[in-house]
Amino acid sequence: MASPELLTASAAETAALIRDGQVSPSEVLDTWLERIGADDLNGYLWKADRDAAVAGVATETKGPVSGVPVAIKDIFCTAGVPTTAASKILEGYRPPYTATSVTRLADAGMPMLGKTNMDEFAMGSSNENSAYGPVLNPWDRSRVPGGSSGGSAAVVAGGLAPWALGTDTGGSIRQPAALCGIVGLKPTYGSISRYGMIAFASSLDQCGPLTQDVTDAALLLSQLEGRDEMDSTSTGIEGGIKLPTATDLTGKRFGIPTDLIGDGMDPGVKAVFDETVQRIEGLGGTVVEIELPHASHGISAYYVLAPAEASTNLSRYDGVRYGIRESDADLTSMYEVTRGDGFGTEVKRRIMLGTYALSSGYYDAYYGRAQRVRTMIVRDFDAAFSDVDFVITPTAPTVAFGLGEKTVDPLTMYLNDLFTVPMSLAGIPAISIPAGMAEPEGGGSLMPVGFQIAAPAFREQKLLEASLALETAIGFDRSGGRVGS
C-alpha cells in the first residue's frame, strides 16, 4: 500500500485496509505523522510525535476504526498534552486528565495526530480569534476556514488528517465544514459526553465529527456517542449508530423554512441550494415550504444565552491554579491583569455581554426573555417535524470570506451563524454536507457551499441515511482543497 493512496483514502477505507491486513497501523500512523509536517494553514497548534500519538491508545487492530489517526480540536483536554482552547490564558497548560470523547477514540485504537487551531474558547466564525494566529482556508489561503472549529475543518479539507473532532455551540462544526468543503455533524445535545471539553456555553456545546464524507461521520459518531457518568447531561443515542446505506430519498419530506432563510444569502449560495433541492426531488424526496416563525430571533437569543453561560464558564481562569498569572501585587490586580492580558477581544466582549445580561435587574429582560425565545424555537421545530422528516437550509449565507473582511463589525460576523444557531438552540442534530461550488460576492475563485440538513432529536441515523443518498447524488469533488496537490 503506497502512502499517497493512504492520504486520499477516507477514514473508513483506511480502517478497512488495516482490518484486512493490507496495511499496518504503524505504517498508517507514520504516513500521517509525516504528512502533518506539510501543514502550512496554521491548522495545528500542537503536532504529536510517534510516542505522544499512541500514548494510551488501544493496540487491538480489528475494531471498526482501529489504527486510523484523528486530529483533535484544542478544546478537548488531553492529559500531559498542551491544551489551550487557542487562548493565551491557558498558555503552557497541560491538563491532568483526558476528555471522555478523546478517551473513547483512544480506546477504539485511534492515535492522536495533534491539536487543531480554533477561535479562542470556540468564540468566532472565522478562526481569526485564535491567540495563535488565524487558520487559512485550503481552497484559497486569502480566505477564512470558518469557525470556531476552523483548524479541524482545514486539516481535513487540506488532507492533513483523515478526520477530526470538533465542537459546535452555534454552528462551529457545520459552518467551517461548509466553508472548507467537508462534512460536519453536530449531533443531538447530550448524545456525546462533554466531560473534558472546555466549556463555552454549556447548554449548547456539543462534540461532533468533521470528516471527508458522510460514512466517516457516521463511523466517528458511532465511536463517540454514549452515556458518560462524568457528564450527568449525557444520554447517548439509543440503538447506537450504524453505517448508512441509503441510495434514495423516497417518501422522505424536507421542509425549507422560507421565513428564516429569506433573501439573506449570496446568489451563488442560493443557486447551489436550489440545485440541491432539485437533487432531493430527483432522489424521490418531497420538498415543501415550512414555517419556523421564531427561528429568525435565534441569533438575538443565542447572543444573550451563549455569552451569559460563557461569562460564568470562563470565570475559572483567574490565575490561581493553572494557566498564566500576570500579577502578584494583590488579589484584584491578579484577576484584572491576568484576565485582561489572557483573554482576546472577542472573548472579553462576550464575557461583558454575558455579565451584563445576568446582572441583577437585567436578568429577566435579557436572559429570561432569551430563554423564552429558545423555548418557542424548540416548539417551532416540534411543529415542523410533525409535517416533515428534515429541515433544510444553506449552512451559511456566504462562502468563505476574506481574512479581515468581517473582523471590524462583530454583528456581521454573528450573522454568519443565522442558519445554524436555531438547531443549536433546539438541541437537535444537524449536518453540513458539501453541495457545490460558488463564486464569492465580489469575485474570486470558486469556493465550497454547504447544505444543512436537520432532524428531530436522536434521529441521527435517519439524518445520516438521507445525507448519504444526497452526498452520492451530488458527487462533490473535494480534491481542490488538498494541501500540496
Partner 1 sequence: MSQEMEAVIGLEIHVQLSTETKMFCGCELSFGDEPNIHTCPVCLAHPGSLPVPNRKAIEYALQIAAALECEVAPRSIFHRKNYFYPDSPKAYQISQFDIPIAGAGRLGEVRIHRAHLEEDAAKMIHVGESGRIQGSDSSLVDFNRGGTPLVEIVTEPDLRSGSQVREWGQLLRATIKQLGVSNVNMEEGSLRCDANVSVRPVGSTELGTKTEMKNMNSFRFIERGIEAEITRQKELIAAGGKVVQETLHFDPSTGELHSLRSKEEAHDYRYLPEPDLVAIVPTEQMIADAVASLPELPAARAARYRDELGVHDSAALLLSFETEWADFFEGVISHDSSIEPRAAANWVTGEFAAELRKQDDQTLADSKVTPAALGALVALVGSKRVSHGSAKSVLEVMVAEGADPLAVVEERGLEQISDSGELESIVKVAIENNPKPAEQVRSGNEKAIGALVGAVMKETKGRADGGEVTRLLRQELGL
Residues in touch with partner 1 (CB under 8 A): 75-77, 83, 85, 90, 93, 95-97, 99, 194-199, 201-203, 229-233, 308-309, 311-312, 315-318, 320-322, 331, 335, 355, 358-360, 363, 367
224: helix, coil or strand? helix
Catalytic residue, candidates 10, 172, 424, 467: 172
Which residue, among 161, 175, 173, has the nearest Cα to 197 in the 3D structure? 173
Q: Which is nearer to partner 1, 30 or 318 (CB)?
A: 318
Give the residues across from 434 on adjacent strands: 450
Question: In terms of CB distance, is 241 or 304 closer to partner 1?
Answer: 304
Asked if residues 408 and 428 have their Cβ atoms less than 8 Å apart, the reply is: no
With beta carbons less than 8 A apart as the criterion, state whether 31 and 14 touch.
Answer: no
Q: Kindly state the smallest distance separating residue 110's Cβ from partner 1, in Å.
A: 19
CA distance 192 to 172: 16
State how far the alpha carbon of 342 is from the alpha carbons of 117, 147, 300, 329, 338, in Å: 17, 20, 27, 17, 6
Q: How far is the CB of 123 from partner 1 (least distance, A)?
A: 14
Q: Which of 66, 125, 130, 148 is catalytic?
A: 148
From the list 325, 242, 269, the residue with the least C-alpha distance to 12 is: 242
**Residue 348 designated active-site:** no
Closer to partner 1 by Cβ: residue 28 or 77: 77
Q: Which residues contact 431 (CB under 8 A, 6 or more apart)?
A: 174, 183, 184, 185, 186, 214, 217, 452, 453, 454, 463, 464, 467
Residue 358: closest CA among 388, 314, 407, 326: 314
The SS3 of residue 475 is coil
H helix and E strand count, the chain: 18, 11
Q: Which is nearer to partner 1, 17 or 308 (CB)?
A: 308
73 an active-site residue? Answer: yes
Return the number of the residue (62 or 316) whose C-beta is nearest partner 1. 316
To partner 1, the closest distance from the beta carbon of 237 in angstroms equals: 18
- CB nearer to partner 1: give 98 or 215: 98
Cβ–Cβ < 8 Å for 357, 367: yes
Q: Smallest gap, in angstroms, from Cβ of residue 370 to partner 1? A: 12
User: Nearest distance from residue 122's CB to partner 1, in Å?
Assistant: 12
DSSP 439: P
User: Which member of 10, 66, 73, 234 is catalytic?
Assistant: 73
Least distance in angstroms from the C-beta of 195 to partner 1: 5
Residue 228 CA to residue 251 CA, distance in Å, equals: 36
Rounded to whole angstroms, the Cα distance separating 213 from 14 reads: 13
List active site positions. 73, 148, 172
